[in-house]
């Protein structure tokens, strides 16, 4: 699976889009997969399609792969979504100009959050809108250590305020969709008053790692020092894991990790 982080350095606050999916073929590169998924999920032009001025995407790097409990390997691709043209002075809002077509089967909402905040333990000052943030600054983050992958793994939980920013929702949904967005539109739903979106697990870890690289700065909170799970992935491959055909219930176990560590 490929997950692509698109960051707009000129947006206020900094935005990140993380669409992801599997490659269509062995020939499709990680960035081609990421861009195709971004097109299918959030309407961002595909890798061979032109973007409206002043937007353009700069592919930066691929981060080490991450391993999910369901034996899914995720390769993060990092890119810059430029929204400002220095020559013409033209500036634009990606949420208004680019994120207009959302796949209701896969996307409940698109919201923004300050990128640098994924390195800090509490909400940072954001200017005039600070008084609109729900709760207190320390509502931003909490984390804990869990035993995973034959080692200790940091579980991050970020709570991104949404009351001071736009939330883009799919324009069309089928009847089978069960998302927080659908529930939030019901004024009697407990989610109607939702003030923060939770970003956690592998997605949160990838955002932390991407921010570490982008800012050349370590987080204020405890975290995994290494990037990704490349070493364990290689060990599990030697045990014959990651076959093309597998059962949905065939998850990685503690015993498998212990065996892999002995290689």
Q: Give residue-wise pLDDT tens across range 107-153.
A: 766 777 788 999 999 987 666 555 567 778 888 999 999 988 888 89
Domain of 209? 2-261
Q: Which residues of 140-176 are buried (b: 16+ CB within 10 A; e: fewer)?
A: bbebeeeebbbeebbebebbbbbebbebbbbeebeee
Domain count, the chain: 1
Q: Which residue has the tokens 């935005």?
A: 15
Phi, psi of 64 (to 5 degrees): -55, 145
Give the pTM: 0.79
| 77-86: average pLDDT | 87
Neighbouring CB atoms inside 10 A of 74's CB total 19
Summarised one tens digit per residue, pLDDT across range 82-113 is 888 888 888 887 767 766 567 667 776 677 77
Q: What is the pLDDT of residue 96?
A: 72
Q: Which residues pair with 81 in a beta bridge?
A: 57
Q: Which residue has the higher pLDDT, 4 or 205?
A: 205
| 206-230: average pLDDT | 94
Most confident of 40-49, 79-88, 232-241: 232-241
């Amino acid at each position: 699976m490929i997950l692509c982080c698109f960051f707009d350095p000129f947006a206020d606050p900094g935005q990140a889009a993380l669409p992801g999916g599997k490659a269509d073929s062995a020939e499709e590169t990680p960035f081609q997969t990421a861009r195709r998924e971004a097109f299918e999920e959030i309407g961002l032009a595909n890798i061979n399609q032109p973007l409206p001025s002043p937007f353009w995407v700069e592919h930066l790097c691929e981060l080490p792969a991450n391993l999910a409990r369901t034996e899914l390997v995720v390769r993060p691709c990092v890119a810059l979504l430029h929204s400002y043209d220095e020559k013409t002075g033209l500036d634009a809002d990606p949420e208004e100009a680019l994120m207009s077509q959302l796949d209701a089967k896969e996307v409940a909402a698109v919201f923004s959050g300050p990128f640098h905040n994924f390195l800090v333990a509490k909400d940072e000052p954001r200017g005039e809108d600070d008084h609109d943030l729900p709760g207190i600054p320390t509502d931003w983050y909490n984390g804990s250590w869990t035993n995973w992958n034959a080692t200790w793994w940091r579980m991050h939980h970020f709570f991104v305020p949404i009351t001071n920013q736009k939330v883009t929702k799919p324009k069309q949904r089928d009847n089978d969709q069960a998302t927080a967005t659908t529930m939030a539109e019901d004024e009697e739903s407990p989610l109607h008053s939702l003030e923060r979106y939770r970003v956690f697990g592998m997605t949160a870890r990838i955002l932390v790692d991407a921010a570490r690289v982008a800012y050349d700065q370590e987080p204020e909170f405890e975290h995994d020092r290494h990037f990704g799970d490349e070493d364990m992935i290689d060990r599990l491959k030697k045990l014959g894991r990651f076959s093309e055909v597998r059962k949905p219930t065939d998850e990685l176990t503690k015993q498998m990790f212990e065996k892999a560590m002995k290689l």
